[in-house]
């Protein structure tokens, strides 16, 4: 979005020297820009000096948008002190050196304007010149004049013309790497094609809602690769997700620079590209909280959200930066992205290419796998029930007496969330660590060519099966009555669809589970067992499903695998009751963990936030499996349920 172009420009009669220089450059093909590519300007602060030893000056120290930039005797004043934060901008008095009205023709004046991250405010260095990369023009003293107040403009780069040579401040010294892990959302396993699915955001902790990473060009009017925004964007960007307000957080350890920080002289630069969708005022803000060794807040830096007004009601990203000094005593810096919903099914505040750097050396942190305290198990049994909210089950002793009777022996996950709607993508999320483009219930027409949890079990030298109620024999792939082949997820995958013998060996009727559980040798290390659509609570209600569990679970709880070995039972739901998106539909579901050999805390309520990828990570760790994708690799598992 460019600002108004209504300001008039004076015509220009170039100085003779400039004309000759340009002719020479055209004949030789050796302009300054051609001789050496423009390079990034290092972080620095101070005066920028040019022709006749005079300084680049914000005329009259004005801060109104469009204020003139002129040549003036150097005085050391604030309006001649330019900050180069390392992001390509050149700033004074909180605003940016700018090509007027985004002009790209020779003779465009330079002015001071609100920093908005657009290309007209980007500058690079080449052979002593300052080049605006989008136009290829050099910052120039108008007409080669050195009188006080001579305007600064952009002009065709000459062969080291004196009126285009500038001395920028020396670099401010060693700086840290970017202290934000995964600052551009590029470590997500699979970016969302529609913004409606939750996911693991590697390096970040979800503090609320279900923020996600959306693909550039995703359906529904999302930003594309050509939307105004970061010139170094990748394939995806941070977005607010489909359950209302949401948040992401991470914390950087800066204690290695404690001595320098405690002098009070270490600066910070917090920046990011923030944006949103059209006239909708969904937005996201970025906050850094400077924390002491005990975690006490010593101060904050904030980048205010980019509103729809800031964006001119267009879909785009604008760059925002905050700079300052770290408080003495800072030992860590918490960074928070806070997404705010105002309308629609998704929260369309967007962020990309975030950065936090300090003016002291600290290595950029590496992306690390969250710690796990999940113990090892011989067997994991997992059952998905369907379409119930957390509060529909937990405490509902009238309709779900059996499930509630398990609570004194189980750990209940009070912050367990499904990934999306409708059902099947949630099944595939837990079975394969990603949705692979699945957005509906389409097992008969969709084949996913990707590894799944059964493959992980096999790769670990272990066994697995899925058991389905009312299946007509092994590998029953035809829907009938309340039976559907997607009541467990593995028929979505190519190795099950394309290999009948493999399907026969792994997709079996629920009645077979009772036979297999008669000995530990025939009990699979991983078993996904499923009710049909009546008894999973979808079609016939809560009580029918509760009764089915009461009739089915004793087969597991009385088996040798449970009584003589270490076994884990996971009872969870695919999605909440209403298949809708937005702040009224958090998609919170019940999840219970029961463990044999006194391995799970009884009667415990876990408040750790977990989604289906976190449950997959928990299963991985319980059985010693390699992760399938970055969704389960970087998900936080359930860590507080174990004795």
Is 180 inside any structural domain?
no
CA distances from 137 to 141, 164, 306, 362 (A): 12, 10, 29, 36
The CATH number of the domain holding residue 408 is 3.40.720.10
Same domain? 160 vs 274: no
- Which of 124-133, 186-195, 528-537 comes out lowest in average pLDDT? 124-133
CATH number at residue 97: 2.80.10.50
Taking residues 397-421, what's their average pLDDT?
Answer: 98
Residue 196 lies in a domain: no
Take residue 419 and report the two structure tokens written for it.
Answer: 């990934």
For residues 296 and 399, state if they share a domain: no
Q: Does residue 237 sit in the same domain as residue 271? A: yes
> Among 115, 149, 164, where does a domain finish?
164
Mind listing the pLDDT tens digit for each residue in 476-515? Answer: 999 999 999 999 999 999 999 999 999 999 999 999 999 9
State pLDDT tens for residues 540-582.
999 999 999 999 999 999 999 999 999 999 999 999 999 999 9
Give CA–CA dist 160/138, Å, rounded.
10
CA distance 637 to 604: 16
Q: What is the pLDDT of residues 438-454, one digit of tens each?
A: 999 999 999 999 999 99
pLDDT the model gives residue 38: 59
Q: Is residue 389 very low, low, confident or very high in pLDDT (cuts 50, 70, 90)?
A: very high
| C-alpha distance from residue 245 to each of 145, 159, 209, 375, 575 (Å) | 55, 54, 6, 34, 19
Give the end of a domain, one of 106, 134, 164. 164
Same domain membership, residue 420 and residue 481: yes
Q: Are residues 303 and 391 in the same domain?
A: no
Lowest pLDDT segment from 163-172, 303-312, 352-361, 376-385: 163-172
With H, G, I as helix, E, B as strand and everything else as coil, classify residue 300. Answer: strand
What is the sign of the dihedral through the CA atoms of 468, 474, 479 and 482?
negative
Determine the average pLDDT of the residues in 187-204.
Answer: 98
Indicate whether 112 and 49 sit together in one domain: yes
Answer yes or no: do 28 and 156 share one domain.
yes
Assigned domain for 643 exists: no
Categorize the per-residue pLDDT at 535 as very low, low, confident or very high, splitting at 50, 70 and 90: very high
Spatial distance between the Cα atoms of 48 and 55, rounded to a whole number of angstroms = 6
CA distance to 191, 411, 412, per residue, from 207 (Å): 20, 21, 19
**For the segment 11-53, what is each residue's pLDDT rounded down to a tens digit?**
333 333 433 343 333 333 333 333 334 577 877 888 999 999 9
Would you say residue 7 lies in a domain? no
Q: Is 192 part of any domain?
A: no
Residues 223, 124 share a domain? no
Determine, yes or no, domain membership for 403.
Answer: yes
Same domain, 326 and 399: no
- What CATH number is given to the structural domain containing 353? 2.60.120.260
Q: Mark which of 358, 393, 409 sits at the end of a domain.
A: 358
Domain co-membership, 332 together with 235 = yes
Same domain, 334 and 387: no
d(CA 241, CA 611): 14
Range of the domain at 535: 379-633
Q: Are residues 386 and 501 in the same domain?
A: yes
Report if residue 349 sits inside a domain.
yes
Per residue, the 3-state secondary structure of 449-468, as one string, reads CCCCHHHHHHHCCCCEEEEE
Judge whether 365 lies within some domain.
no
Q: Per-residue pLDDT tens for 573-625?
A: 999 999 999 999 999 999 999 999 999 999 999 999 999 999 999 999 999 99
Query: Cα separation of 420 and 411, whole Å?
Result: 24
Has residue 84 got a pLDDT over 70?
yes
Say if strands 610-611 and 416-417 run parallel, antiparallel, or are unpaired.
parallel
The domain tally of the chain equals 3
């Amino acid at each position: 979005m460019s600002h108004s172009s209504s300001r008039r420009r004076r015509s220009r009669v170039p100085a003779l020297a400039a004309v000759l220089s340009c002719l020479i450059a055209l004949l030789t093909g050796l302009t300054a820009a051609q001789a050496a590519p423009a390079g990034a300007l290092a972080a620095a602060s101070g005066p920028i000096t040019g022709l006749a030893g005079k300084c680049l000056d914000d005329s009259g120290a004005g801060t109104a948008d469009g204020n003139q930039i002129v040549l003036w005797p150097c005085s050391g004043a604030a309006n001649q002190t330019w900050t180069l934060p390392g992001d390509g901008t050149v700033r004074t008095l909180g605003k940016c050196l700018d090509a007027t009205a985004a002009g790209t023709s020779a003779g465009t004046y330079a002015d001071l304007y609100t920093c908005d991250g657009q290309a007209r405010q980007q500058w690079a260095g080449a052979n002593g010149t300052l080049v605006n990369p989008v136009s290829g023009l050099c910052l120039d003293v108008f007409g080669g004049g050195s009188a006080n107040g001579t305007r600064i403009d952009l002009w065709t780069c000459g062969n080291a013309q004196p009126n285009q040579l500038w001395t920028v401040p020396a670099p401010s010294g060693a700086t840290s790497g970017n202290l934000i892990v995964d600052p551009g959302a590029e470590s997500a396993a699979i970016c969302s094609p529609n913004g409606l699915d939750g996911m693991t955001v590697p390096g970040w902790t979800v503090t609320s809602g279900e923020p996600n990473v959306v693909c550039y060009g995703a359906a529904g009017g999302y930003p594309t690769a050509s939307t105004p925004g970061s010139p170094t964007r990748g394939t995806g960007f941070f977005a607010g997700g489909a359950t209302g307000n949401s948040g992401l957080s991470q914390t950087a350890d800066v204690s290695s620079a404690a001595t320098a920080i405690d002098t009070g002289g270490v600066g910070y630069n917090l920046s990011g590209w923030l944006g949103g969708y059209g006239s909708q005022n969904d937005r996201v803000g970025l906050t850094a909280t400077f924390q002491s060794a005990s975690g006490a807040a010593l101060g904050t830096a904030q980048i205010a959200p980019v509103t729809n007004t800031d964006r001119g009601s267009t879909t785009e990203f604008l760059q925002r930066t905050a700079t300052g000094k770290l408080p003495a005593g800072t030992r860590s810096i918490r960074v928070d992205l806070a997404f705010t919903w105002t309308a629609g099914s998704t929260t369309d505040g967007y962020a990309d290419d975030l950065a936090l750097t300090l003016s002291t050396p600290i290595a950029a942190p590496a992306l690390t796998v969250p710690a796990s305290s999940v113990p090892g198990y011989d067997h994991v049994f997992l059952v998905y029930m369907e379409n119930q909210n957390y509060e529909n089950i937990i405490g509902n002793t009238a309709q779900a007496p059996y499930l509630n009777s398990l609570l004194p022996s189980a750990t209940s996950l009070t912050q367990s969330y499904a990934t999306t709607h409708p059902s099947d993508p949630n099944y595939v999320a837990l079975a394969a660590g990603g949705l692979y483009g699945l957005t509906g219930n389409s097992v008969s027409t969709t084949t996913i060519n990707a590894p799944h949890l059964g493959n992980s079990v096999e790769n670990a030298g272990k066994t697995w099966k899925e058991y389905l109620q009312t299946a007509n024999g092994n590998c029953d792939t035809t829907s009938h009555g309340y039976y559907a082949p997607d009541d467990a997820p593995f028929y979505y995958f190519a190795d099950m669809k394309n290999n009948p013998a493999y399907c026969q060996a792994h997709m079996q009727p629920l009645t077979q589970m009772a036979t297999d559980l008669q000995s530990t040798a025939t009990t699979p290390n991983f078993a996904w067992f499923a009710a049909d659509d009546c008894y999973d609570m979808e079609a016939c209600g809560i009580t029918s499903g509760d009764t089915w569990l009461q009739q089915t679970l004793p087969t597991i709880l009385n088996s040798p695998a449970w009584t003589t070995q270490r076994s884990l039972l996971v009872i969870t739901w695919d999605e909440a009751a209403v298949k809708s998106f937005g702040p009224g539909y958090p998609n919170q579901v019940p999840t219970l963990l029961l463990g044999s050999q006194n391995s799970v805390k009884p009667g415990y309520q876990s408040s750790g936030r977990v989604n289906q990828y976190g449950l997959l990570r928990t299963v991985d760790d319980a059985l010693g499996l390699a992760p399938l994708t970055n969704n389960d690799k970087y998900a936080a598992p359930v860590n507080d349920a174990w004795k």
